[in-house]
Structure 1
Amino acid sequence: MYAAVALVVFMCLTATTHAEHHQPCHAPNMTGVMSVMNLKGEIKAVGAFTYDSMGKKLRFRSNESHPINTSLGLDLLMFFEEGIFYEIDSKNQSCEKKALQCTMHPLDIPDDAKFYSTITSGNPSIEGEGLKVNVWTGSMPDSKGHYTMSVTMGCLPVSTFYFTESTSFLFSNMDIENEIKDPDLLVVPSFCQGQPLEETPEGTVNSFLNEFM
């Protein structure tokens, strides 16, 4: 686990190829698996995700299709365009509807991200043994932190490292398919429809990232 985090940091510190003409790309529709790990090497969550790039919607369900011994069991339906999200409990047929104060998430490059470098992980001289990625960086004003995001040439997010004053997390994406395999996952469940918007306590910042902190 530590090796994975060290690799991300090493990649960011040693890459030397810079360019000013790169513009942030936007990921396509995706279905895949996401894992979340902190700097202590603890896996916070592993789960399936479905992402609608055009509609800016995300469903993440941990410990369901990929059960492991983690501290978090989440079922989140995020509507970034509308600025709301649902915490869903399908077992008990209940949910909580909340406002999003921050729409940052690890499946799309923010428009204000800065291009850092293009690097190749693995051996570029052997076919199938190297992965070429673009590295993007940026700040997180809400938490006084920064992020480093690695994406493929086709704009598929491979990993995102968020580091703040209080904690740091590595989001890794695997088994990505460029399609929405189950559109119903991005629809508000019937038992959540009509749910009132909960008040956000003063000083609270609701976001996809904060669900893992």
Structure 2
Amino acid sequence: MYAAVLLFVFMCWTASAHADQHHPCRSPNMTGLLSVMGAMGEVRAVGVFTYDSMHKKLRFQSNSSLPMNVTLDLDLLVFFEEGILYKIDSKNQSCEKKSLQSKKHPFAIPNDATYISTMTSGSTFIEGEGLKFQIWTIPTPGYKGQSLMCATMGCLPLSTIYMTDSSMFIYSNLNVELDIKDPDLLVVPPFCQGLHVEETPEGTVYGFYEEFL
């Protein structure tokens, strides 16, 4: 799996040798499905997400009723601008409030992203049978590794490969609609309000991606 990713990166860098200059863009508001797959093909989580691109808020709720074997059951509410993540347990009316040292996530192209290349999935010669997308590298401060993101020409994130020195995960956005269907999902539940932020161990970097490790 790692060898395939390295080959993929090399091809992208080669293709971008004479590429035009590109700049990061802001992704739209989104509602859809997020799947998270590990390096060995195991499905870590699958569930619905709601993303507010203007205020940088995200709700992700894994759905155990989907016909897939998943290893994680998560309900996350993330305020990236404020650097806060809530881990919610609605059944027990409990919550954890954590501080984010890393604000990277697979729903937006950050300002410090670097453009690699533009490619087409499928065919460029048959109408309606190809999808043109851009590939970006995302810096991951505090980690030995990198993150690659694919996004449409309209700045809709498609998938992100997140790699550290010991693991790799593929985040895929599916069945995306360009609106926020339920704004209440982005509001802190009453039983989560007033909590103190949990301390992050010194020398560690915590972010959205750590919930799937």
Aligned amino acid, residue 66 of structure 1: L
CA-to-partner distance for each residue in 1:50-73, whole Å, 9 max, x for gaps? 000011101011125636321110
In structure 1, the partner of 2:83 is 83
Other structure's SS at 2:139 match: strand
The one-letter code of the counterpart of 1:111 is N
Encode CA deviations 1:163-210: one digit per residue, 9 max, x unaligned: 110111111111011100100000000111112222222233221101
Residue of structure 2 in register with 1:179 after alignment: 179
TM-score by length of 1: 0.92
Q: Deviations over 1:120-167 (max 9, x none)?
A: 010121122100001111331211211111000110001111111011
Alpha-carbon RMSD across the aligned residues, in angstroms, is 1.8
| Code of the aligned partner of 1:49 | F
Other-structure match for 2:170: 170
Per the alignment, residue 206 of structure 1 pairs with: 206
Do the aligned partners of 1:161 and 1:170 also contact (CA within 8 Å) in 2?
A: yes
Residues 48 and 65 in structure 1, CA contact (< 8 A), matched pair in contact too: no
Q: Kindly state the Cα deviation for residue 102 of structure 1 after the two structures are TM-superposed.
A: 0.6
Paired position in structure 1 for 2:124: 124
Contact persistence 1:38–1:168 (CA under 8 A): yes
User: Once superposed, which parts of structure 1, at least 4 consecutive aligned residues long, lie more than 3 Å away?
Assistant: 8-13, 64-67
Please, which moves more after superposition, 60-69 or 100-109? 60-69
CA distance in 1, matches of 2:155, 2:85: 25
Deviating more after overlay: 12-21 vs 42-51:
12-21
Paired AA for residue 26 in structure 2: H
> Is 1:95 aligned to 2:92, yes or no?
no
In structure 1, the residue matched to 2:11 is: 14
Identity %: 60
Q: Which residue identity lines up with residue 74 of structure 1 in the other structure?
A: L
Distance in 2 (alpha carbons) for counterparts of 1:208 and 1:127: 38
Equivalence for 2:110: 110
Structure 2 SS opposite 1:140: coil
Gaps of 5+ in 2: none
State the AA in 2 paired with 1:101.
Answer: Q
Q: Distance in 1 between matches of 2:54 and 2:151?
A: 18
AA aligned opposite 2:44:
K
- Counterpart CA distance in 1 for 2:112 and 2:200 is 27
Give distance in 2, aligned partners of 1:151 and 1:120: 11
Tell me the matched-pair count.
209
